Amino acid sequence: MPISRDARGSAVYGVEVGVFDLATNERLPATDGAGNQVDLVLVDQLKVIGPSSEIPPSAARLDSNFGDQITLAGYELGKAQSGQPLPITLYWQARSQIQSDYTVFLHLLNEAGEIVAQADSPPQTGLYPTHWWDMGEKIADARNVLLPSDLPAGDYRILVGLYLPETGERLPLVGNEGDSVALPAVEINH
C-alpha cells in the first residue's frame, strides 16, 4: 500500500478495511466483535517513520531524565498573551524502549504557585503514543496552552512532566527530586 509523501511521520495510523459492492459502490454492512454495526473495521496500527526531529538552534536545551525512559532535551516558547494560546514545542528523546503510554502535562503557575492554565495530552495530540517510540528516537511535540482572557500580565512558570493516564502516577526525574521540570519564567502580556 503506497503511503502519501504528505503523511505525517513519525506517527501511528490505523489500518481500516471495509467491503463494498463493485457494481453499485455501496458499502456492505459489517459488525465489530461486540456485534455493533460499523462502516470500517480497524485491523491494525502502522507506524510511519519520518525524519528524526533534531533540536533547532533556536531551542533552549535541557537534559531532564524522566524515569530513565524519556529525556526532555529542549523546548521552544512562542509569544504569550492573555486570551491566546501559548505555543510551546517540547523536544523528547526515548532513552529506552517504553512499555507504557504517557500523557504530557504543562502547568502554568502564577507567583503564588497556583495553576492558572494547563494542557494535558499524549505526545503529538495522541498521534504518536510513547510505547511506539524507538530507543534514541527524537520527537518534536508541538502544543498550545490556552491562556485565560482575564489572566493578568506578569511572569509565570511552566511545569512539564509525564504521567500514566490510568493511575495519574507521574514519571519521576532521575538525579533530582520531583516529577516535573520548571522552565524559566515566561512573560505574559495582556
- What pLDDT is recorded for position 106? 96
Domain that holds residue 25: 11-48
Domain identity same for 113 and 133: yes
Domain identity same for 97 and 181: yes
Using omega within 30 degrees of 0 as the cis cutoff, is the peptide bond preceding 100 cis?
no
All three cell numbers of 120: 494535558
- What pLDDT is recorded for position 62? 95
- What pLDDT is recorded for position 54? 81
**Total tally of structural domains belonging to the chain:** 2
Q: Are residues 66 and 172 in contact, defined by beta-carbon separation less than 8 angstroms? A: yes
Question: Splitting the chain (190 residues) into consecutive groups of 10 residues, what average pLDDT does each group show?
Answer: 68 75 84 81 71 84 96 94 92 96 97 95 92 92 93 94 97 92 89
- What pLDDT is recorded for position 110? 94
Report yes or no on 3 lying in a domain. no
Report yes or no on 53 lying in a domain. no
